[in-house]
Amino acid sequence: MRKIGIARQELGQVQQESEASESGRARRRPLLSRGAAFAGTAAVLASSTVVFASPASADDGLSRKQLLNDCPGRMEQIQIPQTQPGIPIYKPARKLDGCTFESSEEWDAWEWRDTGQTVTNCNPGATQPIQHRSDSTEAWSAGWNVGGELGFDAGKFAGGLNASYNWSNTVSRTNSNTVTISPGRKGSLTAGAEIHHAKGRIRVNYGEQAEGHYIWYINDVEISTPTGKTEIGQEDKSCTERLMNGQ
């Protein structure tokens, strides 16, 4: 009888240990469930990609002309619907934040021109120099070249331009001198100005999406402005050569 009692006691201990083990596993199950839930949430977040409106370039929806017109404040206007007839009311077709020129390359170069009359001493048998008095003025102004289109106002993009230069500058220089041309030669008085060039693109920022984009770029932009430095001189070449003015 004693052996049977001991066996029953041992069986009870085994059952208790088994129940305790099952209870431990049961307590750990919620932790596993929370981990699985976190992993599932992470997977959902990873699969949910936030898409931002990417920049666009001219002619991808808005034309280069539309973008350029927006920058100087000549923005396209659209009529606002009215419930009562009367004077039409208009608003900008697009909400513009600003335009900035972004330079990728800059350099200085002198631009020379012939001034006044071309003097030639190319007659066969000529033995004496020819002298001629000339009085002429040349002018150089700031300018734009946007994909081959000229004449845009650089002052509208002053926020992105090199502040060392006046991007609406115009300079002139008068050459009033006597040109002396030897036999077998031709020439002219000249005047030159130093020009600062910048090449890059225009960034157009809109306050709301325009054709699906907040930012647009106008590429292939080159602007130039006189630095203020000028000089005068004289061009002198043989009768078989061509002068700057094509003569």
Instruction: Read off the pLDDT of residues 41-76 as tens digits, 9 standing for 90 and up.
Output: 434 333 333 344 678 786 677 888 888 877 765 555
Q: What is the pLDDT of residue 73?
A: 55
Q: Encoding tokens for residue 118? A: 């071309």
**Cβ distance 137 to 173 under 8 Å?**
yes
Averaged pLDDT of the chain: 75
Q: What is the pLDDT of residue 178?
A: 92
For the stretch 129-159, pLDDT in tens is 999 998 899 999 988 888 766 666 655 665 6
| In the predicted structure, residue 219 carries a pLDDT above the cut 50 | yes
List the Cα angle 46/48/52 in 5-degree steps: 115
Q: Encoding tokens for residue 42? A: 């992470």
Close Cβ partners of 108 (under 8 Å, ≥ 6 residues apart): 194, 195, 196, 197, 227
Q: What is the pLDDT of residue 72?
A: 63
Who wins on pLDDT, 91 or 161?
Answer: 161
**pLDDT grade for 243, boundaries at 50, 70 and 90:** very high
Q: Looking up tokens 């409106």, which residue turns up?
A: 53
| In the predicted structure, residue 185 carries a pLDDT above the cut 80 | yes
- How many other CB atoms are found less than 10 A from the CB of residue 10? 10
**Cβ distance 197 to 104 under 8 Å?**
no
List the Cα angle 45/48/53 in 5-degree steps: 135
Q: Encoding tokens for residue 110? A: 């002198």
CA 175 – CA 233 distance, rounded (Å): 8
Close Cβ partners of 229 (under 8 Å, ≥ 6 residues apart): 193, 194
End-to-end CA gap in the chain = 137
**pLDDT grade for 229, boundaries at 50, 70 and 90:** very high
State the DSSP code for 83: S
| In the predicted structure, residue 234 carries a pLDDT above the cut 70 | yes
**Cβ distance 228 to 171 under 8 Å?**
yes
**pLDDT grade for 211, boundaries at 50, 70 and 90:** confident
Q: Looking up tokens 């060039």, which residue turns up?
A: 197
Give the HSE-up count for residue 130: Cα atoms under 13 Å, Cβ half-sphere: 18
Which of 204, 201, 199 lies closest to 99, judged by CA? 204
Length of the chain: 247
| In the predicted structure, residue 78 carries a pLDDT above the cut 80 | no
Who wins on pLDDT, 188 or 149?
Answer: 188
